[in-house]
Structure 1
Amino acid sequence: MPWDTKDYPDAMKNLKKVVRKKAIDIANALLDNDYPEDRAIPIAISQAEDWFEKSDHDEIQAFDSKPKPRKNDDHEHAGNADLLDNDVLIYFEDDKWKVQTKEAQRPDSTFDTKKDATDRAKEIADNKESNVISYTKDGKKQS
């Protein structure tokens, strides 16, 4: 069942308004892509909180000024929904370890150590029920 800003899962009630709005939008996109509610809700919350932490003030304001999500919104072309089943990559570039979902446009995060990158990649992959693929500093795939 899709949600809107007046009717949403109890798990979202304590989120900041803009984070809740983002979580509802993500959750509705997941439902449109045949995710079961019990998977869509925690993924949407985690992704919305992550988005809020990593976004600057202008990006948050831009999203907040968009229309509120509605139950009947079309998410056929929701860009990030296609990435939710993709594996999470760990690779070394520009003197940093990067964590990026396969086929995403940019990394989720960057780290000084591979251990920190691996911890973050595992967190993302566990949330999405996908795999972590790790590369060495010289770009070779690790087993």
Structure 2
Amino acid sequence: MIWTLDNFPAAINHLTPLTRKKALAIANALVAQGFQEKLALSIASSHAKQWYREATVQERHRFDQASTQAQSNPHPPQSSRRGADIAVKPDPAGWAVVSPSGDRATELYPRKTDAVERAKTIASAEQGSVAIYKRNGALQQVVKPR
């Protein structure tokens, strides 16, 4: 199940709206990776609280303005375009695997390594390459999976 700001479990109802939004983004990414929903919610709640305590006001504002749709869609659309580049870019919710059109995330992961592995899987199937970016937005490297 994909949780949204309008449809989420009571277990995170006690969180402030911004912390809840962060927890939902993390929980959805964890469930997409195969975590059980209950465990994903527990981990996400804890990480979201920590994120809120440590985030700057600017980081909180950027995350608050981020598209909820992009954060809650862990299933990538099937691309018919061969050789399309997939990108791994920083996102307020973690690391985004970005579709060939590049205008929105198809999947979000809390860890960069997980996003890179998923992007390599997609690029391999599409005979494309993966552009990996640093946290500051600069291009780190481009890899061609086998």
Partners of 1:3 and 1:19 lie apart in 2 by 14
Partners of 1:66 and 1:36 lie apart in 2 by 26
Offset of residue 65 of structure 1: 0.6
User: Is the counterpart of residue 80 in structure 1 residue 110 in structure 2?
Assistant: yes
Secondary structure of 1:6's aligned partner = coil
Residue 38 of structure 1 aligns with which residue?
38
Q: How does 1:1-143 map to 2 (within 5 A)?
A: 1-69=1-69, 73-74=73-74, 77=97, 78-81=108-111
Ranges in structure 2 where 5+ consecutive residues have no aligned partner? 77-96, 98-107, 115-133, 135-146
CA RMSD of aligned residues (A): 2.7
Count of residues paired in the alignment: 86
More strand by share: 2
Ranges in structure 1 where 5+ consecutive residues have no aligned partner? 85-104, 106-143
Offset of residue 83 of structure 1: 6.5
- Using structure 2 for the length normalisation, give the TM-score: 0.51
- Change in Cα spacing, 1:57 to 1:75, as seen in structure 2 (3 Å) is farther
- Tell me the alpha carbon deviations over residues 47-95 of structure 1, each in whole angstroms, 9 at most, x when there is no partner: 00010000010000000011125786136733424679xxxxxxxxxxx
- Using structure 1 for the length normalisation, give the TM-score: 0.52
Runs of at least 4 residues off by over 2 Å: 69-72, 74-79, 81-84
